[in-house]
Amino acid sequence: MSGVLGPLNDLAGGLFLLNAFAMVATRQVRGCMRFFIWQSICLVASAALIGGITGTAELFIVAAINLLTKPVIIPLLLRRSVPQDIQTRREIVQVLTVPSALLSALVIAVFSYFAGRTLLSAAAPLVPAANVPIGIAGLLLGAFTITVRREAVPQLFGLMAMENGAFYAGMAFAPDLPLIAEVAAAFDALIIVLLVAILTRAIHERVGTTEVSSLTTLKEEPRQ
């Protein structure tokens, strides 16, 4: 790794991890969205930096696609399609209290270090060392966000954070992945967001809430 690019890539990784923690902890739907945007920007930065380090042009295009979809189009899409009162809700119901959720998240991050190390020892030495464990941590923390949250939209952000994490680790392993796969993944993410948003809207209109814990029983229409 050359000069300043290596440490800068590591810094992007550290901030990526920090945003993953913040998404576990934040209480507001808007806050969750903001941290997701920042996490995606860290992802874009790292993609561009690895592109610079390894000299692969594809990664710059991937960075550009991600810059367009994740920090811009997805929030816009959600802002337009999800009802306002879900977005402005301040307190998200959580399964765990904030300190215990954060401490569990910490355990997950430490675990992903050991998971990442075994993967790294199998990979080529050219891989930027930080990306693999941080990407795995991002993936697991995204999954953890989904489990501790009881609200549809933050769960969606958890899902997107998982995608971010997988991507973050993946681009270190395969910096020259065919561009078509990246484009397909970006479109997939958009369609998932759109689908979940429409579902959320429909559920909100029908039931009046998108709190997952109150959606556990199936209620059938009374038969005539």
Q: Is 11 in the site for another protein (CB under 8 A)?
A: yes
- In the numeric block, the tokens 């609200």 are attached to 151
**For residues 105-138, b (16+ Cβ closer than 10 Å) or e, as one string?**
beebbeebeebbeebbeeeeeebbbbbbbbbbbb
55 vs 187: CA distance, rounded Å = 25
Side chain identity, residue 17 = L
Which of 9/200 has CB closer to another protein? 9
Q: Is 95 in the site for another protein (CB under 8 A)?
A: no
Determine which residue in the list 51, 133, 170, 175 makes contact with another protein, applying CB under 8 A: 133
89 vs 202: CA distance, rounded Å = 18
Q: How many residues bind another protein (CB under 8 A)?
A: 32
Determine which residue in the list 14, 57, 187, 195 makes contact with another protein, applying CB under 8 A: 14
Tokens of 143: 């999954």
Determine which residue in the list 63, 129, 152, 172 makes contact with another protein, applying CB under 8 A: 129
**Residue among 195, 192, 194, 219 nearest 208 (CA):** 219
Determine which residue in the list 33, 53, 134, 186 makes contact with another protein, applying CB under 8 A: 134
Q: Tell me the DSSP string of 116-149.
A: HHHHHHHS-TTS-TTHHHHHHHHHHHHHHHHHHB
Instruction: Give the shortest CB-201-to-another protein separation in angstroms.
Output: 31
Which of 121/217 has CB closer to another protein? 121
Q: Is 194 in the site for another protein (CB under 8 A)?
A: no
**Residue among 48, 50, 74 nearest 160 (CA):** 74
Determine which residue in the list 82, 130, 161, 162 makes contact with another protein, applying CB under 8 A: 130
Would you tell me which residues interact with another protein (CB under 8 A)? Answer: 1, 3-4, 6-8, 10-11, 13-15, 17-18, 21, 25, 98-99, 102-103, 105-106, 109-110, 113, 116-117, 120-121, 129-130, 133-134
